[in-house]
Amino acid sequence: MSQNVDHSNSEGEIDTVMVEQRLFPPADEFRAKSQFKSLEEYQQFYDAAVADPIAFWSAQAKEHLHWFEPFTQTLDWNCPNARWFLGGKTNASYNCLDANVDAGLGDKVAIVWEGEPGETRQITYRELQEEVSQFANVLKRLGIHAGDVVSIYMPMTPELAIAMLACARIGAVHSVIFAGFSAEAIADRNNDAGAKLQLTSDGLYRRGKVLPLKETVDQALSKSPTVENCVVLKRVGNETPMTAGRDHWWHELASQESRTCPAEQLDSESPLFILYTSGSTGKPKGIRHTTAGYNLYAKRTFQWVFDHQADDIYWCTADCGWITGHSYVVYGPLSAGATVLMYEGAPNYPAEDRFWEIVEKYRVTVLYTAPTAIRAFIKWGDEHVEKHDLSSLRLLGSVGEGINPQAWMWYHEKIGGGRCPIVDTWWQTETGGIMMSPLPGAIATKPGSCTKPLPGIVPKIVGEDGMEVHRGRGGMLCIDTPWPGMLRGIWGDEQRYQDQYWSKVPGMYLTGDNARQDSDGYYWIMGRIDDVINVSGHRLSTIEVESALVSHPAVAEAAVVGKPDEIKGQAIAAFVTLRGDASEELRKDLKLHVRKEIGALAQPDDIRFTSALPKTRSGKIMRRLLRDIASGKEQSGDTSTLEDYTVLAKLRDDEE
C-alpha cells in the first residue's frame, strides 16, 4: 500500500488513501482449462450482455434452465419492480435434481457431508431426488400448498438442503433461520412471514457440545400463532419434549411416504424463499426471491466465478441460514450438477486444523469462505495449515465482506500455495448472487479488489448529488440495470423496499456500499455508506484504515468507526484484536504505522484493544454498535443477528 490522498473533493466523493499495486495473473495451466481464458473473451461476453441484455438473458435462460412451458417475454421492468421470463413455467428443485438425473448424472455424488463428530455421508443425485420427493410428500400430507411459508431452523445436515428443495418442489416458500438465533428472533420471523410449518432438529453439535434446538423452537412456537405443525429431525438423540398433535418426528413421517413426487410446474415469478437480513434500525427485513430469475442467476454465476469443472469437489463453508448457503451450497452448485461438500461444525473443533483436515480428506478443489474465518486462521497460527496436504485445491474464494490485502496474501500463499487464483466476490442477500468477481482464468487479481462486474451487471459509483464520481474517487455503489437474481421486494412491506433501495438515486438500485474504481477499471468496496468518516472535511473509508492496521504483524483484526470531534467533525476510533499482548508502546506504534502506510489524515485518534469484536452470526463486524460505544451512546437498532452478546458487555466494561 502507498499513500494517495487527493484533496480536490467534489460533492459526496470519498477520499482514497490506499493504492494496491500487486497484480496476480492466472497461471497458464489454470487458464488453459478454464471457461473464460482471456480478458478479451470476458470483455466480449460482458459487452454483448450490456449491448442487448434482453437477448443475452433470454439465451442464457433457454439454454441453462429446464422449462415445462417456455417464457414469452424476457423482462417486464417498471422500476423498481421487475418480472423475468414471463409466461414460463419451471421448478428450481427440478433444475437441481431431475434435470441432472435425466442428463445421466444420477450416480454422481451431489452432497458429501461430514458431521462435527466425524460421521460422513455421500448422497447421489438420484438418492437426493428420492429423499427430496419423499419429504415433499410429507409437506403435502401436513397440508402445505404452493405459496405457504415453511420456517426452517436446522443444523447443517443434508436434511436442511432436502427441506429447502422439497419446499421448492411443491411451490412452498422457505424461510431458513440460522440455527443459533434466539426464540424471540425465530418468532419475529415466523410472525412476519405468516409461517404455517416449522422444521427443526432435536439438537446440533457445536464445538463438542449439543445445542438443544427443539427447546428454543418450543419457546418460539409459543409466540408463533400461525404455525400449525412442527417436524423434528433426530440428529443428536437427546431427550426431546414433543407436543402431541403439533410435533412429529421427521423419520416417522418420511417412512410412510412415496419417494416419487413430480415437481410442480411453477410460474417463473413464483416466490421461492424469504431470507431475513438485519436492518440498521427496526425489525429485520424479509428479502423476497422468486423462482426462475434467481435459479438462473445462481447457476450461471456459480459456473462463471468458480470455473466449474465436472470433477470438482466444491466446498462453500457458509451455513444455509445465509444467502451464501442458499445460492452457493444449494441452488447454484446443484443446478450445475456439482459435487458439494457440507460440514456441520466449527472450524476449530476438535482443533484449529479441522478445515484443513477436511480439505485433505476429501481432496477439495474449490474452497469458498469468509475473510472473518481467514483472519481467525491467521491468528491461530500457520502450524495448523502446514501439517496438511492442500495440493488438491485449485481455486479459492472469499465472501461476506471485503478482504484486506494482508489476509488475501496469507490466503494466497499459505492455503493456495501461491498457485490458486482467489475470487474475491462482492454481492448481497438482495442481489441473489455474485455481482462482481474475477473470472479466474481471464482476470488478473489484485489483493483486496473484487475486480470487475459479471456479465449483465452495470455498476455506477455516484456522489450525494447522484452524479457519477471521477474514476479513482469513492462514492455510493449503485446498479444501473435490472438482473434476473435481484430481490423482488421486502415481504409484506413494499414501501420499505422502494424507500430503502430505489429512492435515494432515482432509477438505480442503491447497494448501501461505497466503492471506487481504479485506473485499471477494477472495483474496490470501501465499506457501508454509514462507514464513512468525515475528518476535517475529508471523507475517508473505514475499510482502508482497517487494512492498514491489519498489515501490522501484531494485529489479527481491526474495526474502525467515526466518533464526534469538536474540531475535526469526526475523529477516527479503532478497535483492535491482537495476536499477542497489548501495550501503550504498541498503541503508539500502530498510530505511526497507519500514518506511514496511508498518511497523517488517516491516523487513528483512539485505539482500543479488545479480545473480540461484535459480529453477526455470518461473521460481519457490526460497526454500528462500535460507533455507539465510541460515541458513548446506548446501543440502538436490531441486534438479533449478533453472535455473542458478551462481547458488547466486555467492550462497555472497558469503557468504565
Asked whether the predicted pLDDT for residue 8 surpasses 60, the reply is no
Among candidate residues 398, 331, 400, 391, the one with its CA nearest the CA of residue 365: 391
Which pLDDT belongs to residue 654? 54
Cα separation, 11 vs 465, in Å, equals: 6
Which pLDDT belongs to residue 537? 64
Q: Structural domains in the chain?
A: 89-346 (3.40.50.12780)
Cα separation, 152 vs 162, in Å, equals: 11
Report residue 17's pLDDT band, with 50, 70 and 90 as the boundaries: low
Which pLDDT belongs to residue 20? 77
Expressed in percent and rounded to 5, the helix, strand and coil fractions of the chain are 35, 25, 40
No. of H helices and E strands in the chain? 22, 29
Asked whether the predicted pLDDT for residue 5 surpasses 60, the reply is no
DSSP 63-77: HHS--SB--SEEEEE
Tell me the mean pLDDT in the region 332-361: 97
Q: Does 541 or 132 have the greater pLDDT score?
A: 132
Tell me the mean pLDDT in the region 20-43: 94
Report residue 117's pLDDT band, with 50, 70 and 90 as the boundaries: very high
Q: Which cell is 94 given?
A: 427440478
pTM, to two decimals:
0.86
Which pLDDT belongs to residue 529? 82
Phi, psi of 96 (to 5 degrees): -80, -30
Tell me the mean pLDDT in the region 338-356: 96
Quote the mean pLDDT of the chain.
91
Q: Which cell is 597 given?
A: 502506510
Asked whether the predicted pLDDT for residue 131 surpasses 70, the reply is yes
Q: Which cell is 30 given?
A: 489454470
Asked whether the predicted pLDDT for residue 416 surpasses 70, the reply is yes
Q: Does 290 or 372 have the greater pLDDT score?
A: 290
Which pLDDT belongs to residue 24? 97
pLDDT tens per residue, range 481-496: 999 999 999 999 999 9
Which pLDDT belongs to residue 622? 82
Cα separation, 282 vs 299, in Å, equals: 33
pLDDT tens per residue, range 154-175: 999 999 999 999 999 999 999 9
Q: What letter does residue 24 receive in the DSSP assignment?
A: B
452: number of Cβ within 10 Å = 23
pLDDT tens per residue, range 590-625: 999 988 877 777 889 999 998 888 887 667 788 888
pLDDT tens per residue, range 207-256: 999 999 999 999 999 999 999 999 999 999 999 999 999 999 999 999 99
Asked whether the predicted pLDDT for residue 653 surpasses 70, the reply is no
Tell me the mean pLDDT in the region 539-545: 77
What lies within 8 Å, CB to CB, of 140 at 6+ separation is 170, 261
Report residue 539's pLDDT band, with 50, 70 and 90 as the boundaries: low
DSSP 139-162: HHHTT--TT-EEEE---SSHHHHH
Tell me the mean pLDDT in the region 150-155: 98
Q: Does 147 or 557 have the greater pLDDT score?
A: 147
Q: What percent of the chain has pLDDT over 90?
A: 77
Asked if residue 373 lies in contact with residue 397, where contact means CB atoms within 8 angstroms, the answer is: no
Report residue 10's pLDDT band, with 50, 70 and 90 as the boundaries: very low
Cα separation, 203 vs 81, in Å, equals: 40
Which pLDDT belongs to residue 4? 39
Asked if residue 230 lies in contact with residue 246, where contact means CB atoms within 8 angstroms, the answer is: yes
pLDDT tens per residue, range 571-595: 899 999 998 899 999 999 999 998 8
Tell me the mean pLDDT in the region 146-151: 98
Which pLDDT belongs to residue 9? 43
Tell me the mean pLDDT in the region 510-514: 94
Asked whether the predicted pLDDT for residue 330 surpasses 60, the reply is yes
Asked whether the predicted pLDDT for residue 410 surpasses 60, the reply is yes
pLDDT tens per residue, range 69-103: 999 999 999 999 999 999 999 999 999 999 999 99
| Burial degree of 249 (CB within 10 A; 0-12, 13-18, 19+) | middle
Q: Which cell is 328 given?
A: 452457493
